[in-house]
Amino acid sequence: MRVLFLSGPNLNLLGTREPAVYGSTTLADIEGLVRERAKGLGAEVDFRQSNHEGQLVDWIQEARGKFGAVVINAGAYTHTSVAIRDAIAGTGVPTVEIHLSNVHAREEFRHQSYLSAVCKGVILGFGAQSYVLGLEAAVNLKA
């Protein structure tokens, strides 16, 4: 299966700031972990990051017919973006929502996700492993 990984705003800063919240692993390190696991699962992975909401929407739309699943950490857009929610719902590509941190143990404004209701499921709170678990969930999705 081909799986598209999308990471949203500021996740390019991982490993460089706020290590107490997000750890010291960089997004490139996480991509390496995901690619290693993908080999074992026989999955093909495309790994992208953008700080721009519209770019994420474009990539979700383009996933239709090209990827079997999307795994998305939309970052702060999780809590604000009707546009990303509509893109996930509109394209119909099965999507797994992931987060590094346990957003429910954090500020109230992070407790709401506009995406969860249109995703197959949600994985959160496991740091870099959330991405690997997201891949495992994606390859095991039943249509």
Show which residues are catalytic.
Answer: 22, 99
Q: In a 10 Å sphere around its CB, with 0-12 CB exposed, 13-18 middle and 19+ buried, how is residue 110 labelled?
A: middle
Tell me which stretch binds ligand CA2 (CB under 6 A): 7-15, 52-60, 115-123, 131-139: 7-15
- By the rule CB under 6 A, 18 interacts with ligand CA2: yes
- By the rule CB under 6 A, 7 interacts with ligand CA2: no
Is the C-alpha dihedral spanning 121, 104, 129, 50 positive or negative?
positive
Rounded CA-CA distance 24/127 in Å is 10
The structure tokens 């991405």 sit at 131
- By the rule CB under 6 A, 22 interacts with ligand CA2: yes
- By the rule CB under 6 A, 138 interacts with ligand CA2: no
Can you tell me which of 51, 101, 116, 129 binds ligand CA2, judged by CB under 6 A?
Answer: 101
Can you tell me which of 3, 6, 11, 123 binds ligand CA2, judged by CB under 6 A?
Answer: 11
- By the rule CB under 6 A, 13 interacts with ligand CA2: yes
- Backbone dihedral angles phi then psi of residue 81, each to the nearest 5 degrees: -100, 100
Is there a contact between 138 and 69 (Cβ–Cβ < 8 Å)?
A: yes
- By the rule CB under 6 A, 37 interacts with ligand CA2: no
C-alpha angle 64-119-142 in degrees, rounded to nearest 5:
70
Binding interface with ligand CA2 (CB under 6 A): 10-11, 13-14, 17-18, 22, 73, 75-76, 78, 99-101, 103, 110
